[in-house]
Amino acid sequence: MNWLRSQRGEGKAGCVFWLLLLLIGILLGFRWIPAQMAKSQLTDYMEELAKFYPRKEARWFKDSIMHRAKELDIPLEGQNVQVDKTGQRVKMKVKYSVPMDFFVYTYYMDYEITMDRDIFIIR
C-alpha cells in the first residue's frame, strides 16, 4: 500500500520548477516586449516619412529618425542610420542593439530595419 502513495504525484519539486520557469518567462517578457514595440513604432515612423514627405532631403530623414529613436529610448547612433534618396526611391537602413540586463547576464538584441520605397509626388 505504501508504494501506491508514492505514485500519486506528491512531490513538490515539479511545482517549484514550473513556478521558476513561469517567473523567468515573465522577466523575459518585461524586457523583450518593450524593445519589440519600440522597433515596430520606429518602422512605422520610417514608412510614414517616406510616404508623406517625398520632397525632403536625405539629411532631414536621418535627423527625423534620430529624433524619433531618442523619443522611443532606442540606443541609436548617427553612423548606424543610412538614408539614400535618389530620383524616385528612398532607401533607409537602421541598425542598433538593445542591451537586456538580467541578474547575472547582459544579452544584446540586434535589430536591423531596412526600407526601400518608391516616392510618388502628386502635383
> Which cell numbers in the block locate residue 113?
530595419
The Cα–Cα gap between 15 and 2 comes to: 23
Which pTM was predicted?
0.78
CA angle at 49 for the pair 56 and 83, rounded to the nearest 5°: 70
Decide if pLDDT at 117 tops 90.
no
Average pLDDT for residues 40-50, to the nearest whole number? 92
Q: What is the pLDDT of residue 3?
A: 55
Note the pLDDT tens digit of each residue in 13-34.
778 888 999 998 898 888 889 9
Q: Comparing 67 with 9, which gets the higher pLDDT? A: 67
Q: What residues contact 107, with CB distance under 8 A and at least 6 apart?
A: 99, 100
| Count of alpha carbons within 13 angstroms of residue 48, beta-carbon side | 9
Q: Which amino acid is at 39?
A: K
**Which H or E run includes 95?**
strand 89-101
pLDDT digits (tens, 9 = 90+) for 57-109: 889 999 999 999 999 999 998 899 999 988 788 999 999 999 988 778 888 99
Is 94 within 8 Å of 112 (Cβ atoms)? yes
Give the pLDDT confidence score for residue 114 in this predicted structure.
Answer: 94
The residue among 4 and 35 whose pLDDT is bigger is: 35
